[in-house]
Amino acid sequence: MEFYQIIILVIIAAVAIRISFKFDLNRYLENRRKIKLDQLKNICTHCKIESLGGKEFKVESYFSKPIGTLNWICSRCHLVVDSEDDVNRFMQSYTKNIEGMKRYLEKEKRFFKQMKSLKLV
């Protein structure tokens, strides 16, 4: 084989083997934001607990049931659950004992920290 034939083969091989790498920064940032918004659903407490003084607490759920649907939707994180039993389970998990209240406060702190990082607050 001649030298020019080898060069032509190398060029053809390089074109055939060319690997392209494309990185779209905007798409990456958008996907990262979507992931963090989905993580909010795991961090959200789905309820608000207020102290009435002493050992009495008022618990309000952020879940509502839109007209015409069977699902319950959290107004803070937009989590969708199928039944009222799930809503009650979320609220009771924090009010059963003092560890539940501590967990509630920790999750609220993390939730607002995440909201600040996403610039939602």
DSSP state of 118: T
Q: Does the structure show a pLDDT above 80 at 108?
A: yes
Q: Does the structure show a pLDDT above 90 at 10?
A: no
The pLDDT score that the predictor gives to residue 20 is 61
Which helix (H) or strand (E) segment holds residue 21: the answer is none
Q: Which of 90, 82, 78 is nearest to 49 (CA)?
A: 90
Residue 89 maps to a domain: yes
The count of structural domains within the chain is 1
Q: What is the mean pLDDT of residues 92-117?
A: 87
Residue 27 maps to a domain: no
Q: Containing domain of residue 112, as a range? A: 54-121
The pLDDT score that the predictor gives to residue 72 is 93
Q: What is the pLDDT of residues 69-95, one digit of tens each?
A: 889 999 999 999 998 898 888 888 887
Q: Tell me which of 55 and 39 has the higher pLDDT.
A: 39
Residue 9 maps to a domain: no
Residue 97 maps to a domain: yes
Residue 42 maps to a domain: no
Residue 58 maps to a domain: yes
The pLDDT score that the predictor gives to residue 74 is 92
Mean pLDDT over each residue of the chain, to the nearest integer: 86
Residue 5 maps to a domain: no
Task: Compute φ and ψ for 94, nearest 5 degrees.
Answer: -95, -20
Among the residues of 18-80, which ranges form H helices?
25-43
DSSP state of 119: T
Q: What is the mean pLDDT of residues 17-22?
A: 66
Residue 96 maps to a domain: yes
